[in-house]
A and B are shown apart, each in its own frame.
Chain A
Amino acid sequence: MTDGKPATRAIFTAITSGKGGVGKTFVAANLAAALARQGQRVLVLDADLGLANLDVVLNLVPKLTLHDVFDGRSALEDAIVPAPGGFSALLAGSGMVEYSRLTPEVRQKLLDVVERVGTRFDHVLLDTGAGISDVVLFTISLADQVIVVATPEPTSMTDAYATIKVLAATQARRAIRLVVNQVRRPGEGRVVHQQLQQVVDRYVNPTLDAALRLELLGELPADPAVREAVARRELLLETQPGTPFSMAVVTLATRLLQG
């Protein structure tokens, strides 16, 4: 590069959950804001092509979306919009149903977008859809690291476990980070983490060449302020940085930056 800075490539982090409704997108958006506060250039890409809702969480009505980029109606740069938390967002917008199946076209287009945004940011968060569909697994496969968001609910833990199992078996993932959302008391995240690791050790690791390690990136408290922020379509980190949830997200961001 001419300015003497080394060419950098963003760290791509897929944020996934298995089960829907665990606050994945809200966590992703607030985490992006926390990273931005620490001086990082952050992009959140709404990879939930079927049922995109990052725009809802961020209260944005974008003129141009990933949909337009895929269809060739917009340049990639024009569809990257500033979000309230000081980061950038690439929204999926509605009408992406035609792209919710993993056709060769979708593969090529996603790969192309990911390759191109990499040089302009320090961190790219890929907010995947719920479930373990082909599109979700393909999106995750584009990422350097994976964060699985789970809550202490049995259904969420089961789906998180299924996701972890599939990623270990089909993508050779040997390290996956865990964020436990909506914990009702401190330390509950650690319990969820231990339970998941224990079952992985018993049923998954014997089938792998090297053991899969789950790393607890952090826990986020069930905080009444979250519900209000979601309803008002605000980032909690922006409106109430002092609330327990916001402070926990800042801790998450710090850990993420520590590598």
Chain B
Amino acid sequence: MRPSIPDLHLDDALQLLRQAGVPEPAEPAGSMAWLQGVIDALVDLTSRDALTGVANRRSFELALAREIDRVARSGEPALLLVLDIDHFKHVNDTHGHAAGDLIIKAVAQALLDCVRPMDLVARIGGEEFAVVLPNCATAFGETVAERVRRRVEHTPMAISAATALNVTVSVGGAFAPQWVRSSPHLWIERADRQLYRAKAQGRNLVCLEPAAVPVVSGEEKRMLFDSSQFLDFE
């Protein structure tokens, strides 16, 4: 038997929503519609990053899985960007954690301001963000990623009434695996590898995965045949 609504313990849930600044559903308290409203609000809350309000890691991974399935069927390219704020530790150490939080919020806003409504912006780590861009042509990947990087670079971010900082981001990107057998994990890993490359090359840079991955280097070829075992065969 389904429990009646008054039997449910909703105090904590309602308190959580109040604390997050979410208004209680307008429907009569205790009605099914009201309960649905409470659930929807909780779902929304658990999908968002508390500090910035953008998607959190959990909903980001869900969105990636959906996107992979869509790409395998449609073949439409989709781009994943992962971004990391450069020298963020320095911001925290110099200006304090409250300033660091303001910077994170401002970067999230800058990202939201320069992507399309259909794109998903997520905070996936402390100072790490991701943007999922469905239906983004491969020829435009570099332009889009560069626009995001420049937007952050050129946005002064206030950390007090008197002080604004300019921060930069390093950006790594990879297009969606176009095959049926793939995983969000693999996609993130590929974009992450490009992010490390951007960091290593000096930061405030965009690195996208090169289109042609299947290269066999001369070194690999040498190792493939460099074997005395083959000398046995004429």
Binding site for B on A (CB under 8 A): 102-104, 107-108, 111, 132, 134, 137-138, 140-142, 152, 154, 157-158, 161-163, 165-166, 169-173, 184-185, 188, 191, 194-196, 198-199, 202-203, 207, 209
Contact = CB atoms under 8 A, between A and B. Distances in A.
Contacts of A108: 73
Contacts of B180: 111, 138, 141-142
Contact of B227 (A132, A185, A195, A202): A195
B220 interface: yes
A166 B216 contact: no
B140 interface: no
Nearest to A188: B233
Nearest to A207: B193
B225 A107 contact: no
B2 interface: no
B134 interface: no
A140 B177 CA distance: 13
Given A158-B224, A166-B214, 10 more contacts: A138-B179, A141-B182, A169-B190, A171-B177, A171-B182, A173-B181, A184-B233, A191-B227, A195-B227, A199-B223
Contacts of B74: 104, 107
A108 B190 CA distance: 26
Interface string B69-85: 00011111000000000
Interface string B175-213: 001111111011001100100000000000000000001
Contacts, number: 89
Nearest to B215: A162
A198 B224 CA distance: 8
Nearest to B180: A141
B213 A166 contact: yes
A202 B223 CA distance: 9
Residue of A132, A158, A172, A173 most packed against chain B (CB within 10 A):
A172
B224 A169 contact: no
Given A172-B182, A184-B233, A191-B230, A107 B73 contact: yes
Contacts of B227: 191, 195
A173 B225 CA distance: 24
Contacts of A162: 214-216
Contact of A198 (B75, B186, B223): B223
Contacts of A137: 178-179
Given A138-B180, A162-B214, A172-B186, A107 B233 contact: no
Contact of A132 (B73, B214, B220, B221): B214
Nearest to B75: A104
B4 interface: no
Top 10 A-B pairs, shortest CB-CB distance: A141-B179, A141-B180, A141-B181, A166-B214, A104-B75, A171-B181, A162-B214, A191-B229, A199-B223, A162-B216
A184 B215 CA distance: 29
Contacts of B186: 170, 172
Nearest to B217: A203
Contacts of A173: 181
A188 B232 CA distance: 10
Nearest to A105: B75
Contacts of B182: 141, 170-172
Contacts of B213: 166, 169-170
25 contacts: A104-B73, A104-B75, A104-B76, A107-B75, A134-B178, A137-B179, A138-B178, A141-B179, A142-B180, A158-B224, A163-B214, A165-B216, A166-B213, A169-B190, A169-B213, A171-B182, A172-B183, A185-B233, A188-B233, A194-B229, A195-B225, A195-B227, A196-B224, A198-B223, A199-B220
A161 B220 contact: yes
Given A103-B75, A191-B229, A158 B216 contact: yes
Contacts of A203: 217, 219-220, 223
